[in-house]
A and B are shown apart, each in its own frame.
Chain A
Amino acid sequence: MAKYMLIMRGTDEGQAAYEEMDFTEVIAAMGRYNESMMNAGVLAAGEGLSDASEGAVVDFSTDTPVVTDGPYGETKELFNGFWIVDVASKEEAIEWAKRAPLSGAGTKLEVRRVNGPEDFPQDDEWIQKEQGWREEQAQRAQ
């Protein structure tokens, strides 16, 4: 069993086309999709992101990070949201990705495995610190 992140990516044009669609329809389709993943016991997390123009980009290409307002004009692809699914195989993650109610030129779902503790050396001081930190976060969340 492993966790996979389904990363929603699109282009400015795709996003514009998406905004043309009936909002209640979009919400309903997403709701059905999320519900189907919950019913199958695979949905671990998921979030959608607000408009990229409301965000900012910190660019590390130069010695000093450069901050710009949103990625418009600089990038062709936008990161719009994600799901994390808990599944038996990459193929199963892909099957879930294929069912997402997405459409439009340039709209993509990237399927990536989420690293688990087994991917890191357990004797590393920083890995151990991170585990302690995760523990604190979880306790605070309770």
Chain B
Amino acid sequence: MTAVVPHDEGRADDGAASRRVVEAVWRIESSRIVGALARYTNDFALAEDVASEALAEALVAWPRDGVPRDPVAWLLATGRRRAIDAFRRRSGRDDRYAALARDLGEGGAVTGGPGTVAEAGDDLLWDPDKIEDDRLALLFVACHPVLSKEARVALTLRVVAGLGSEEIARAFLVPVPTVQARITRAKKTLTAARVPFEVPAAEDRAERLGSVLNVVYLIFSEGSTASGGDDWMRPDLAYEAVRLARVLTRLSPDPETFGLLALLELTAARFPARTGPDGEPVLLEHQDRRRWDRSAIRRGRDALARAVAVGRGLGPYGLQAAIAEQHDVAASVAETDWDRIVVLYEALGRVAPSPVVELNRAVAVAMASGPAAGLGLVDDLVAREVLSGSYLLPSVRGELLARLGRRDEARGELELAARLCGNARERGVLEAKAAAL
């Protein structure tokens, strides 16, 4: 039998292995740790600061001393100590902080999680009835409308998904200091705007939930069609969004939350067939549908059924999920129910009007009623000068012209689309199409 490094023993082991343990614990617990600290300090920025300090300390201490027996308790206790230090530093200026430092100090050792020995006052920070509320409040604060979208995405990945700045930077192809600066600026903005650490009141909730769903969707979009760089997809980033959506359905089981989860599952189900052996994109019509992830399709359809069952009609995510479902259940492009997809795009255009939706409807119309009908709708968009500068419009127009046999015009449009496209892999597909005409 091979000896393995015990994970619970207080002894030094291979540094890289302990680092991975720290990261794993952080991924599972970051939202609960930051959430608990934010509730107690009522200061999200401070909670994130001290939680990050605790994480940084763990990255030094665990490889040196071994992984503690109860890693969560260690992180919480360290975070709490740093919070007390911060309050003491401020108490010279403000008596309130002295009181907070005292309250937090009286809590005794902080422990938590299943299977840990409860010590006096541990429930001060670890209240099982409040943990889920804290995690939900954390999501609402991280996705607060006072923040820029980039800041919302970075904060959510950091505090809710538990990703490090390096991982976020890698996922978005930006330098690590850029991510760190975004997070620092976001925390300052939240403090300046005096955003309370709480789940929004009923009258604001729908709008604020919309912002949370949008952030999860943005993360997924970036992972499923990388907007820049050489990779066509970054599935790990997309998967983070699926996981966040699953978490959200537990914390806030609204129909649109299920709609979003359904959309992400039903889209991610096609990932295994979306790239060829050399990482090149494979378009829907050429995908080997046997490679689609059937269990993801089942989960997506279940989530969509939950959204439908509420009976208030589907929102924008639910409708997009319903469209994705039509693709996922079809045996081929030809056997897809395009009439149904046209109807769903019309509904989507009513609840969330956008040129991209109109363009997609045009594609569906072309599939249902022929390329000439689709081209008419695309030309309307061109005449209205919407989507100008986007590669999407010339790429669809080129495709439809090609199907109508207008090859010279088609080639011109596809070449234009290739010039406008920011993703190297996708650009390659457009260039190949243009060259084949």
Q: Chain A: residues with CB nearer than 8 A to chain B? A: 1, 29, 32-33, 36, 38-42, 44, 86, 88-89, 91-92, 94-96, 98-99, 101, 117, 122, 128, 131-132, 134-135, 137-138, 141-142
Contact partners of B251 in chain A: CB under 8 A: 39
Contact partners of B289 in chain A: CB under 8 A: 135
Contact partners of B245 in chain A: CB under 8 A: 41
Please tell me if the beta carbons of A99 and B290 are within 8 angstroms of each other in the complex.
no
B window 17-37: CB within 8 A of A: 20-21, 23-25, 27-28
* In the complex, B39 has a CB within 8 A of chain A: no
Least Cβ distance of B70 to chain A in Å?
A: 10
B contacts with A, residue count (CB < 8 A) = 36
Q: C-beta contact mask, B108-124 vs A, less than 8 Å → 1, else 0?
A: 00000111000000000
* In the complex, B97 has a CB within 8 A of chain A: no
Q: Which of A39, A44, A131 contacts B132 (CB 8 A)?
A: A39
Least Cβ distance of B362 to chain A in Å?
A: 31
Q: Which of A88, A101, A137 contacts B115 (CB 8 A)?
A: A101
Please tell me if the beta carbons of B28 and A138 are within 8 angstroms of each other in the complex.
no
Q: Which of A41, A101, A132, A138 contacts B114 (CB 8 A)?
A: A101
Contact partners of A137 in chain B: CB under 8 A: 294
Please tell me if the beta carbons of A1 and B239 are within 8 angstroms of each other in the complex.
yes
* In the complex, B324 has a CB within 8 A of chain A: no
Given contacts A39-B247, A95-B25, 16 further A-B contacts (CB under 8 A): A1-B236, A32-B114, A33-B114, A39-B132, A39-B251, A40-B28, A44-B295, A89-B23, A92-B24, A94-B7, A95-B21, A96-B28, A99-B113, A131-B290, A131-B291, A135-B290
Top 6 nearest A-B pairs (CB, nearest first) are A41-B246, A138-B294, A91-B24, A92-B24, A41-B243, A131-B290
Main secondary structure of the interface of B (DSSP, over half): helix
Most chain B Cβ neighbours within 10 Å, of A29, A128, A138: A138
Please tell me if the beta carbons of B20 and A89 are within 8 angstroms of each other in the complex.
yes
Contact partners of B291 in chain A: CB under 8 A: 117, 122, 131
Contact partners of B20 in chain A: CB under 8 A: 89, 91
Please tell me if the beta carbons of A99 and B115 are within 8 angstroms of each other in the complex.
yes
Contact partners of A128 in chain B: CB under 8 A: 290
Docked pose: A137 CA to B23 CA in angstroms: 37
Q: Which of A32, A38, A92, A142 contacts B27 (CB 8 A)?
A: A92
Least Cβ distance of A116 to chain B in Å?
A: 8
Q: C-beta contact mask, B238-270 vs A, less than 8 Å → 1, else 0?
A: 010011111100110000000000000000000
Docked pose: A60 CA to B24 CA in angstroms: 40
Nearest residue in A to B301 (C-beta to C-beta)? A142
Least Cβ distance of A80 to chain B in Å?
A: 19
Least Cβ distance of B306 to chain A in Å?
A: 14
* In the complex, B298 has a CB within 8 A of chain A: yes
